[in-house]
Amino acid sequence: MSNSIRKNGIYRSREGVLLGVCQGIADHYDLSIFWVRFGLVIVFMLSGFWPVIGIYIVAALLMKPRPVQPIQSDDEQEFYDSYVNSPRSAAQRLRRKYETLERRIRRMEDKVTGSDFEWERKFNS
């Protein structure tokens, strides 16, 4: 696991057995998954069924799933956080970005394929 993921919080594992909470905690604190699960079972037996199940479900809801690809920059972290919190706004943000890029490409194409560009190229050569 990279340091950028470790410093940005605990993520649920995508390979976990049940929602990936124990695997995410083990990865974050660099522990063996066996010991994390063993500790959960001990707490489960000492405290009873409902408190541990409730805490586990709340943890699963609060923890973000681990990104599929490692996060390399702050921009990627910002996008991932915005996507996890609101996929629709992240998709709209991407759409706006690509529409802006498409407009820029169209302007460049118009400039290069325009008659003024052809005359300038003939004149300069």
Task: Tell me if 78 is assigned to some domain.
Answer: no
Q: Which tens digits make up the pLDDT trace of 102-121?
A: 999 988 888 777 777 777 77
Three-state SS at 8: coil
Task: Tell me if 80 is assigned to some domain.
Answer: no
90 shares a domain with 67? no
Q: Which tens digits make up the pLDDT trace of 24-80?
A: 888 888 889 899 989 988 988 888 778 888 888 888 888 878 776 777 777 777 777
Listed in sequence order, the residues at least 6 apart from 20 whose beta carbon sits closer than 8 Å to its beta carbon are 12, 13, 14, 60, 65, 66
Looking at residue 6, what is its pLDDT?
42
55 shares a domain with 17? yes
67 shares a domain with 6? yes
16 shares a domain with 46? yes
Given a cut of 70, whether residue 122 has pLDDT beyond it is yes
59 shares a domain with 17? yes
DSSP calls for 75-116: HHHHHHHHHHH-HHHHHHHHHHHHHHHHHHHHHHHHHHHSHH
- Record the pTM: 0.51
Looking at residue 102, what is its pLDDT?
93
107 shares a domain with 61? no
Q: Which tens digits make up the pLDDT trace of 70-95?
A: 777 777 777 777 777 677 777 788 88
- Report whether 111 contacts 117 (CB < 8 A): yes
63 shares a domain with 94? no
- Report whether 62 contacts 9 (CB < 8 A): no
Range of the domain at 5: 1-73
Given a cut of 90, whether residue 99 has pLDDT beyond it is yes
Q: How far apart are CA 13 and CA 22, in angstroms?
A: 8
Give the number of domains in the chain: 2
Looking at residue 16, what is its pLDDT?
74
